[in-house]
Every structure is written in C-alpha cells, then in structure tokens.
Amino acid sequence: MNLKKNSALLGTILIFLFLSYHIYINIEDENKQEQQNLVINKTFIESSPNVDKEYLGYIEIPKYKIKRLIKKGTDKKNLDDGYIGLLDNTAIDKGNTVLAGHNINKIFKVLHQIEKNDQVIITTYSNKYVYYVTQKREISVDDFSYFENTDEKLLTLITCTDDNNKRLMVRLKLLR
C-alpha cells in the first residue's frame, strides 16, 4: 500500500514540475516579446536617432499577433534569445529571404497553424514587404533546396517539428 501512495505522490510531483516548467517558458517568452516590442517601437516606429543597427528589421504575422526582431545569423544564441535569424547568404531586400525561429509560442509555433494566403510583413529601416503564404510542408533537415537564392522575391520561414529529422517550411511570395 505504501508503494501505491509513493507512486501517486511521485506522479503528482512530476505533473506539477511539468506544468511549472511550461508556465515558466510561457512567462519567459512573454517577457522576451515585450522587450522586443519596446525595441521595435523605439527603433522602427518612432525612428529613434539612436538606432541599434544590430537588428535588420522585424517580422510581423498579424493574424497571430506575432512581432519579432530579425538578426543576422541562425546561431543558437540568436534563436534561444527569441530572435528570428536571417540565414547566412540570404538578404531581406532581394531574392529568397530565409528566416528561422524556434517552434515556441510567440515565435514560430504559429507556422504550424498558418494557412495559404495568410500575410507576413517584414519591416526594415527603409522598406516594408508584405508577403502571402503559398506553400507549407515538412522537409528533411538535409533538404536545403528551399534555401537557394532566386530571382523572384520570396520569403522562406523555417522552424522545428516534433520529429528531429524534419523541419517545417513555409514559402511566401511578395504581394504586389
């Protein structure tokens, strides 16, 4: 009987720890989103004279109320700090812009729900680009064909899936 009580207590503790961890992650992500909104407002909307050029711009997914700063590079630190990373050898202002972000709330988790024709906006210091979703699919982690540069102005968004061998890829075209 004692073993049954101990197992039930252990199960309750594990559930509590699991829920606490998820609450902590959500609060941490909300804090990062608030901090980034302050930077976005100061840097891109209010046009502060003390512009911090470490940011390339920001991405906005209006349907899901997402706004995130974009930094060059998809290294672990950038992504873990809640930024959207611009893949090396791509640019925001020409060809195929490839952006990556973590598959968590308020970052790119919404890509799993995004639908054809949903809009995504990229705002830089000098331009605003409005894209619409044309394609969404899971790809192999070894499939780099969607990262290749193109003559056409495209946006490619990448995030993780629950399968370590797959990534979710969302392809968008520039709205004219």
**CA–CA dist 172, 131 (Å, integer):** 6
What is the residue extent of each domain of the chain?
Answer: 53-174
For residues 2-24, give the mean pLDDT.
70
In this predicted model, what pLDDT tens digit does every residue of 66-104 receive, in sequence order?
Answer: 999 999 999 999 999 889 999 999 999 889 999 999 998
Element of type H or E holding 169: strand 166-174
- Check if the beta carbon of residue 136 is closer than 8 Å to that of residue 170: yes
HSE-up of residue 139 (Cα within 13 Å, Cβ side):
18
For residue 52, pLDDT beyond 70: no
pLDDT of residue 51: 57
Q: What is the DSSP string of 50-110?
A: S--TT--EEEEEGGGTEEEEEEE---HHHHHTTPEEEPTT--SSSSEEEEE--SSTTTTGG
Cα dihedral 152, 171, 97, 105 in deg (nearest 10):
160
pLDDT digit string (tens) for 98-121?
999 999 877 899 999 999 999 999
Let me know if 16 is exposed, middle or buried by CB neighbors in 10 A (0-12, 13-18, 19+): exposed
The answer on pLDDT for 42 being more than 80 is no
Place of tokens 């512009």: 51
Look at residue 36 in the predicted model and tell me its pLDDT.
Answer: 81
Residue 47 pLDDT grade (very low, low, confident, very high; cuts 50, 70, 90): low
Q: Which of 122, 60, 114, 134 is nearest to 97 (CA)?
A: 122
Q: What is the pTM of this model?
A: 0.79
Does 149 have pLDDT greater than 80?
A: yes
pLDDT tier at 5, thresholds 50, 70, 90 = low
State the CATH architecture for 53-174: Beta Barrel (2.40)
What's the chain's average pLDDT? 86
Contact 39, 75 (CB under 8 A): no
Q: How far apart are CA 175 and CA 84, in angstroms?
A: 21
**Which pLDDT does position 21 carry in this prediction?**
66
Give me the DSSP letters along 120-150.
EEEE-SS-EEEEEEEEEEEEETT--GGGS--
| Residues forming the active site | 102, 160
